[in-house]
Amino acid sequence: MPGTGDDPGGFAEDIVAVHESGGTVHFLLIAYPPGASGNAAGYVFRRPAGRDGPAENILATNDTLRELWCSPAGRVWTASSTGLVWTSAPVSWPGAVAPDLEFDAPEGGVTWHHTALPVQEHNGARPNPTAIWGTSDDDVHLATFGGVLYHFDGRRWTQFHSGAGRPIGVIRGRAADDVYAAGYGSTLLHFDGGTWTPVADPDGPGTNDVLTGIAFGGTGEVYVCGKSRGGRVLCGSAARGFSVLGRYGVPATGIARTGGRLFLTAGRSGVLEVTSEGAGTLRDDLVAWSLAEGEGRIYVTETSGEAAYSEFGLADGRWHRRFY
């Protein structure tokens, strides 16, 4: 189990990702010596959605886990800054890839498989995964800090590099032939099931925004938020192009749309809701980092040093803080 952040001689702890699927919430906690987050150990927990109390620790490893996604079948996928990918899906991967790798599944009886991503074809470097998403356990995409996009089809990994080499920090889609990836330098790419294609920034080719989040509307629209250039939210699609929905004056770090409502996280500016009248603050007393959609709720991770996430229920407008 992780150490305690309250002990000066112990570990700092952050919950860095939350994902709800099939009535279960999985979340990723990292624990590290204060000031050394690059050496963090990773822990995956799960609990029933909307519930408090102790969560099950289903993976504990000294690998530096950073990303988390759950497939529609309820299988967990997670990736580390060392270039390893882990899953509870029944894949055919080789055994241990590093002699110093340690891991355990303390609770839940989950069987894990892990493998090293292939080196980046354009430069031979080891990849550093920064985002993961898919439609199934046989259709998984990973984005990397080096700007390379990997795809797993159930048998092998392929990769795509646009040539820009800019970090890609988010990847999301709504179908196998409708996937978006976004990141630094206003990088916005669309995958149609066979090819990744750049999507133009509505502010022009010289725009240098850090695009941080992707969400989907109910009638085909796609929302993309940015951390700079006035806190933009873009709206559109690869087929129709994008326009600027609004500039909200905050460094948007994440976006989510659920229940017909659109939300932003914005660091020290907290959590906001975007409406036709602008962006209104929902919470300004937490440092909000990532944002994830749930069934009738949203999840907000907090940075840094907080081994908790916050949950907002759309039906009753109540906030809950969940610890592990």
pLDDT along the chain (324 residues), means of 10: 52 93 96 85 96 94 96 97 95 76 94 94 94 98 96 96 89 97 96 96 93 95 93 96 96 96 96 96 94 97 84 96 93
Is residue 254 a part of any domain in this protein?
Answer: no
Is residue 1 a part of any domain in this protein?
Answer: yes
* Spatial distance between the Cα atoms of 100 and 45, rounded to a whole number of angstroms: 23
Is residue 92 a part of any domain in this protein?
Answer: yes
Query: DSSP assignment, residue 93?
Result: -
Chain centre to alpha carbon of residue 82: 17
Is residue 60 a part of any domain in this protein?
Answer: yes
- Specify the number of domains making up the chain: 1
Residue 152 CB partners (closer than 8 Å, separation 6+) = 85, 134, 138, 139, 140, 141, 142
Is residue 22 a part of any domain in this protein?
Answer: yes
Beta bridge partners, 36, equal none
* Spatial distance between the Cα atoms of 42 and 299, rounded to a whole number of angstroms: 20
* Spatial distance between the Cα atoms of 218 and 216, rounded to a whole number of angstroms: 7
What's residue 16's pLDDT?
Answer: 94
- Written as six digits, the tokens of 276 are 């036709």
Is residue 54 a part of any domain in this protein?
Answer: yes
pTM: 0.94
Distances (CA, A) of 10 to 13, 34, 60, 63, 203: 10, 8, 17, 18, 47
Q: What are the φ and ψ backbone dihedral angles of 130, each rounded to 5 degrees?
A: -125, -10
Host domain of residue 67: 1-116
Is residue 306 a part of any domain in this protein?
Answer: no
Is residue 137 a part of any domain in this protein?
Answer: no
What's residue 97's pLDDT?
Answer: 66
